[in-house]
Structure 1
Amino acid sequence: MKFLAFAAVASAFVIPDASVVSQLVLADNKAAAKASAAADVVHEAVDAVKAGVSKSVDAVHNWVAGAFDTDNELNTLADDMDFDALSPKDLPIFDPILTGGKSKVSNLTLYQLIASSNYTTQFASLVDEFPALVALLNTTTVEDAAAVNHTVFVPVDTAFDALPGWNTTTDPVVRESIARYHIGLGDFPYKVLFATHTVPSLYHEPLLGGAAQRLRVRFAKKLGVRVNFAARIVSANVIVSNGVVHAVDTVVVPPTFVGRQLSFVPDHYSTLLLAMNVSGFTEYIHGLTNLNGSTVLAPSNMAFTLLGPELNAFLFNSPRGLKYLHALLRYSTVPNATVYSDAFYGPAELAPLPPVAGVPGFVERLHYQLPTLLGNTTVSVNVTSVPGYSVMLVNNKVRVAVQDGVAKNGVIQEVNRVVFPPPPATMPGSPWVDPPVKTVADLVARLGPYVDDDGDDEIVVAGSPAVAPASANEL
């Protein structure tokens, strides 16, 4: 069947329902278009997919021990979302009606506006279940400790129509977490969103140390501002007495674990998921119970392809190579520090160094030197930002191709090449000018100091397949 083309090895992941691909795809505009096409193909295999969840992927989904109790129900909601039920042409204009693209100013509070709209009745009912949220969205006095302006990305009623299990979701923790995740901390009118990468929400995530879970916002040509890749702002800038309201066409569910997020996009990360499984990294990371956030430098399928057949054959098809694959994955994981393109959660000693001088208020340059799970190695991340755009470079060389994939226990930064630790001092080059890693000998020289390698394993010859072809029975 056509969906087999997505797989490196089908047993390493489960192709998700098309609705999940639509919501959580980590891709730029071109890749998003490919994901949309992929979603159409996946419709043909939904029944087979639901029956073929593998144990290895379940382990990846539970990336860190001590999962939040409501995670399974949140995942079920996301899996059940039917985005084909939404048509942009059928979406109503937010009430009050905006004209000419200009802001509508109201003296109402956030809650009053949402409660009075004919198109946000379901979200208003959800908020009504939690008196503290009602009070917060009604607060205008600075004397109140909770009185800060907020930005509400309010789903229109048709967005809830794509959640068939919504009315049966009775867990108040789940329902409140969803409500809170639509509320941003601070004022973010539409023009500010153009220059914003992530927005802190009112939902605080235990696996981020209790920090505000963030909403990814990006402007896409012809689509406007997207929230978490899927939700589109269909009506913007109702300015009220205590904040801003934007109407979105999709309910935004708090994100799940890094591993599960990766599995939602097999055409990007199937090779990485396979690497986690066959190298034992899944079991290793699952055993780390003291992680408090993380940054995962996630190589795309293309990044692994660029290694070439010799290195892939060695890494995936030989017991010796699996040790080096495990080391690569450990180097690509920053524990206890979550680095977004415009925010940082972690210890003060790992916070970015003072910005490099640029144009005041315009160009910002930040530098991070971060620990990894590979011994005492560190990885550098440089962020150069102007309003609405940023470039992230890892070790001054590898570009982050897709930024800020928010996750329950950290953030995914997709890299366009596999990241290697800086060369040892005995090797020519420096951390900033890496000699290329093109052969098995190069890779062994680079990672050898961090691998227990007896050197007696047979190396698979160049050109051997790095992965076996999938069969329909493996799904």
Structure 2
Amino acid sequence: MKFIAFAAAASALVIPDASIINQLILADANKAVGSPFGGVVDGVKAGVEKGIEAVNDWLREGLDKSADDETTTADLDAFVDGAASSPKDLPIFDPIIGKGKSSNLTIYQLISSSNYTTNFTSLVNQFPAVVEILNTTSLVPGTNHTLFVPVDTAFAALPGGALNESRPEVLESIVRYHIGLGDYGYNVMFSTHTVPSAYNEPLLGGAAQRLRVRFEKALGVRVNFNGRIVAANFAAANGIIHGVDSLIVPPTFVGRELSLLPAHYSTLLLAMAQTNFTDFMHSQILNGSTVFAPSNVAFTGMGPEVNAFLFNTPRGLKYLEALLKYSIVPNATVYSDAYYGDATPIVAPGPIGGVIERAHYDLPTLLGSARLTVNVTSIPGYSIMLVNDAVKVDVQDGVAKNGVVQEVGEVVLPPLPGAPPAAGKPGAGWGGGKKLVITVPELIARLGPYVDDDETVPPTPEAAKAAATEL
């Protein structure tokens, strides 16, 4: 059998906060991702066609391996042979579904017989319902599972060399979060952004908490940023096993995630503190949410005069609170490839043989009657999300306990009064619209209809500049 070797990146994992930090190094992780689609980001049709051609060539030349014999327990052990002393030698097995080894053994039987998945098997054995999930075979399509199993070296990297958690409900949530619902072979994950897990999250309305998966050309498939698949496509009788080098922990709250990344969100956190926004959010009862979180770069892009007005004046604080409310979609969790909520998205195929798919969402916000739109344009393995046909989501799918974080590089604002409504159909473009350039009067014009503001005249340029000097 031929292998594709990838360099391993072993790192310690603290439960739970460091795992969240690793998951949410959003922009830096996103920029590090090598995409086989190259010029797609530029939004031109030629770039899309070129990207599709490139990935097809890459798959044919780099991954067209063959292996006809069946998986055995020895095979499962072999994929981490020597892992205890040399993680960098971990191989990635043939990632073409249907050409890898297969077995008549169940997922549970394979991991429980392996010498390198003993720690995770011990966790599974504490929960008979999970054992049943991993041990049950069915002929019904769509009922198989994908197990992202941490190898024993993943546990050895934890503080003290073990998972120091005794609460059964927490342990079960961790175990279930490693189980994907459905068959997700390695090549399938090239065109998958999130995978539903066997852990149902009450704060998502009981829906399956999702795993973020992304293919990085240099490292393979990462799960929630910190986990890397080091051995792929062990086909069991009831699904697929992928070996991962880290424990994958269910995510924490959106607010907690943001607070762990001040280098990205310190301005947003300051805005929340100055408007007592956390208290406001605690008063809301939500089943999931989507937070279009403006990065520090996004706030900087509005300029010193606008920021001075927002942060340094009593009147501006009203608009700052309105801005924060507009960034949150309540009771709807919009991932780049999935949706939890009541709204019905409009989905339409695109050109190039239907490879492109476009989805359009028209959604409420926490700012009164103000709504926003989201357009998702996708080809297998890549997607662009646009808010209000103008603001691009720079880093997608920061999964959270109570929703999802979509990081935006520009602050999202309502359209100007009198502007034509966003089209009730998927957008046609790949790139963003005109870059947002905002002034204090325009900010007031956009947010004013939703703010209790006794002043009808925007601050003069001189007053705005004077406030800016206080920054």
Asked if these proteins are the same fold (TM beyond 0.5), I'd say yes
Instruction: From 378, 383, 387, give the equivalent of 2:371.
Output: 378
For residue 465 of structure 2, give the secondary structure of its aligned residue in structure 1: coil
The equivalences for 1:46-61 within 5 A come to none
The equivalences for 1:228-247 within 5 A come to 228-247=224-243
Deviations 1:205-248 (A, max 9, x none): 00000000000000113111110011001111111111000001
User: Percent identity between the aligned chains?
Assistant: 61
Amino acid at match of 1:453: D
Deviation at 1:416, TM superposition (A): 1.4
Deviation at 1:376, TM superposition (A): 0.6
Structure 1 residues 419 and 109: CA distance shift in structure 2, 3 A: same
Deviation at 1:282, TM superposition (A): 1.4
The equivalences for 1:300-379 within 5 A come to 300-347=295-342, 350-359=343-352, 361-379=354-372
For residue 265 of structure 2, give the secondary structure of its aligned residue in structure 1: helix
Q: Is the 8 A contact 2:293 2:406 kept in 1?
A: yes
Q: Does 2:124 correspond to 1:120?
A: no
Structure 1 residues 147 and 444: CA distance shift in structure 2, 3 A: closer
Instruction: From 189, 192, 200, give the equivalent of 1:193.
Output: 189
The equivalences for 1:51-450 within 5 A come to 89-90=86-87, 93=90, 98=93, 103-142=100-139, 148-164=143-159, 166-288=162-284, 290-347=285-342, 350-359=343-352, 361-425=354-418, 437-450=437-450
Q: Is the 8 A contact 1:217 1:228 kept in 2?
A: yes
For residue 151 of structure 1, give the secondary structure of its aligned residue in structure 2: strand
Amino acid at match of 1:188: Y
Structure 2 distance, partners of 1:385, 1:162, is 37
Deviations 1:252-297 (A, max 9, x none): 1000100111122221111111111112221111111x21100001
Amino acid at match of 2:188: V
Structure 1 residues 114 and 270: CA distance shift in structure 2, 3 A: same
Instruction: Output the TM-score relative to the length of structure 1.
Output: 0.76
Structure 1 residues 17 and 418: CA distance shift in structure 2, 3 A: same
Structure 1 residues 436 and 103: CA distance shift in structure 2, 3 A: closer
Tell which deviates more after alignment, 16-25 or 328-337: 16-25
Deviations 1:420-449 (A, max 9, x none): 101112xx6765788955321111111111
Amino acid at match of 1:185: L
Deviations 1:356-381 (A, max 9, x none): 55455511111000000111111000
Deviations 1:49-93 (A, max 9, x none): xxxxxxxxxxxxxxxxxxxxxxxxxxxxxxxxxxxxx99942674
For residue 232 of structure 1, give the secondary structure of its aligned residue in structure 2: strand
Structure 2 distance, partners of 1:344, 1:88, is 42
Structure 1 residues 92 and 241: CA distance shift in structure 2, 3 A: farther
Deviations 1:294-324 (A, max 9, x none): 0001111111110011101111111111110
Amino acid at match of 1:322: L
For residue 355 of structure 1, give the secondary structure of its aligned residue in structure 2: strand
Tell which deviates more after alignment, 275-284 or 334-343: 275-284
Structure 1 residues 136 and 319: CA distance shift in structure 2, 3 A: same
Q: Is the 8 A contact 2:177 2:250 kept in 1?
A: yes
Q: Is the 8 A contact 2:109 2:135 kept in 1?
A: yes
Q: Is the 8 A contact 2:95 2:187 kept in 1?
A: no
For residue 461 of structure 1, give the secondary structure of its aligned residue in structure 2: helix
Structure 2 distance, partners of 1:91, 1:462, is 57
| Structure 2 unpaired stretches of 5+ | 1-15, 34-82, 424-432
Structure 2 distance, partners of 1:376, 1:88, is 59
Structure 1 residues 147 and 294: CA distance shift in structure 2, 3 A: closer
Tell which deviates more after alignment, 223-232 or 448-457: 448-457
Structure 1 residues 401 and 89: CA distance shift in structure 2, 3 A: farther
Structure 2 distance, partners of 1:125, 1:392, is 41
Q: Is the 8 A contact 1:358 1:365 kept in 2?
A: no
Instruction: Output the TM-score relative to the length of structure 2.
Output: 0.77
Q: Is the 8 A contact 2:309 2:467 kept in 1?
A: no
Deviations 1:119-149 (A, max 9, x none): 1110011001111111111111348xx9921
Structure 1 distance, partners of 2:308, 2:196, is 42
Residue 61 of structure 1: aligned partner: none
Q: Is the 8 A contact 1:91 1:249 kept in 2?
A: no
Residue 71 of structure 2: aligned partner: none
Amino acid at match of 1:210: G
Amino acid at match of 1:318: T
For residue 253 of structure 1, give the secondary structure of its aligned residue in structure 2: coil
Structure 1 residues 465 and 192: CA distance shift in structure 2, 3 A: farther
Structure 2 distance, partners of 1:305, 1:161, is 42
Structure 1 distance, partners of 2:467, 2:197, is 48
Deviations 1:384-419 (A, max 9, x none): 111000111111111011011100000111111101
Structure 2 distance, partners of 1:100, 1:373, is 44
Q: Does 2:465 correspond to 1:461?
A: yes
Structure 1 distance, partners of 2:386, 2:197, is 26
Structure 1 residues 219 and 141: CA distance shift in structure 2, 3 A: closer
| Structure 1 unpaired stretches of 5+ | 1-15, 34-85, 468-475
Structure 1 distance, partners of 2:142, 2:301, is 51
Deviation at 1:164, TM superposition (A): 2.7
C-alpha RMSD over aligned residues:
2.9
Q: Is the 8 A contact 1:26 1:402 kept in 2?
A: yes
Tell which deviates more after alignment, 225-234 or 440-449: 440-449
Deviations 1:11-40 (A, max 9, x none): xxxxx987753343223546569xxxxxxx
